[in-house]
Amino acid sequence: MKIWQKDNSSTLAVVEQFTVGRDPEFDMLLARYDVQGSLAHARMLHKVGLLNEEEWLALERELRKIAADIESGTFSIEPGVEDIHSQVELILTRRTGEAGKKIHTGRSRNDQVAVDIKLYLREELRLIRQLVLELFTQLLDLSEKHKNVLLPGYTHLQVAMPSSFGLWFGAWAESLTDDMEMLVAAERVVNKNPLGSGAGYGSGFPLDRKMTTELLGFRTMCHNSVYAQMGRGKTEKVVAAAMGGLGGTIARFCMDICLYMSQNFGFVAFPADWTTGSSIMPHKKNPDVFELIRAKGNRLQALPNELAILQTNLPSGYHRDMQLTKEILFPAIEDLKRCLAILHDALKVITVRDNILEDEKYRYIFSVESVNDLVKKGYSFREAYVMVGNSIENNLFHRDGTTALNHTHEGSLGNLCTGEIRNEMNKLLNLREI
């Protein structure tokens, strides 16, 4: 029987299979958090007098055993058991009898799954933040290491002005500070306790929601019981927005890498074992890793929209539609973590090419420098622009000392603001009450 069944009646097998969907697969990701929530809930029930000392101690003992089984990988959801919540309650009832039947007092599966998901998302966001920090630090280190190696800058995919690997790596590092800001904001939204809201309308029992909020380490609670349930789906969408922004950053970065690895650019290289081959062309070294990160990153940008459409025009209260948020978001979280980890590993072995701008095709990349030189000699900018432009049109343009660049303002070739970018990240990481 299901925990919601009142007699021996059963649901049609086809209905049960359809409604359960992929929940058993994703519920295993929630197992440890379901036990955490149950421990806090049972302790609170004891405090308010709904469980006696013996019942509470028995439930605590068995919940900790279940937690150990989950961590060791020996825990599973039995065939025919509807979800992780039912499995934990079933085990507790087998082992503790009536005490196990009391664990559900004052809660619904609605607030149970909501707190499980919040605990899961909170932990996953912290793992993602750590991976982002590692990539950020690596990019800044590469920026400093290669700050004097010049690189062509492009606008409209046309050769534009001199850049450097210092600027290029540093740009992606600073982009990650904005992404981190969104991750921190998402974590603040996640870090609110819905437990005790029941099915969305509270409970007649004297529950102590402040106690479970503190026990589970939440920043605060979802105060309104109706909103605690309305927050389901909205919370996931906020997380998805942060993930989508990060996905956009790594996708664009990997697009640059794919271009820069190609023979027509040849700016960066990776060891052969970081590339794949062709079944017909023996010379090929394909950047499949970076193409897949690009594709997965772009898919991440679609997440908020998919979650928004899922919830379009839903009234208040819980609806089974919310079950699908797990199969949209959970695999995407794993993809994002894998992408961040493998990108970090790849950048450990990147090689950058020196003397790129000595190639004849970049002869005009210093035209702006020549205009600026004339301005420094007293010409107006417009006059200098015309003079240099005419020399280019007449094939007379020539510049001596092509690498003698003296850019000093903040964020330029000679002033990367690495320390300032690092400080911006540190401010985010030092935020309190996340």
Give catalytic residue positions. 156, 278
CA distances from 89 to 31, 106, 270 (A): 12, 14, 52
Helices assigned H by DSSP within 352-380:
367-376
- Do the beta carbons of residue 237 and residue 332 sit within 8 Å? no
124 neighbors 333 (Cβ within 8 angstroms) = yes
Which pair of tokens denotes residue 14?
Answer: 């086809």
Rounded to 10 deg, the angle between the 324-347 and 23-47 helix axes is 100
Q: How far apart are CA 183 and CA 342, in angstroms?
A: 20
Distance (Å, whole) CA 53 – CA 64:
17
- Evaluated on CA atoms 88, 93, 96, 99, the torsion sign reads positive
Cα 6 vs. chain centroid, distance in angstroms?
Answer: 42
Count of all residues that appear for the chain in the document:
434
Residue 388 is encoded by which pair of tokens? 């240099």
- What letter would DSSP give residue 341? H
Q: Rounded to the nearest 10 degrees, how much is the dihedral formed by the CA atoms of 39, 40, 45, 47? A: 120
Token pair 């308010």: residue:
48
Do residues 413 and 167 make contact, with C-beta atoms less than 8 angstroms apart? yes
Residue 52 token pair: 């006696």
| Contact partners, residue 184, CB within 8 Å, separation at least 6 | 129, 428, 431, 434
Q: Which residues contact 148 (CB under 8 A, 6 or more apart)?
A: 164, 166
Determine the Cα–Cα distance for residues 134 and 50; give it in Å rounded to an integer.
47
Residue 42: phi and psi, rounded to 5, are -65, -40
**Gap between the Cα atoms of 11 and 144, Å rounded:** 64
Q: Would you give the DSSP letter of residue 221?
A: E
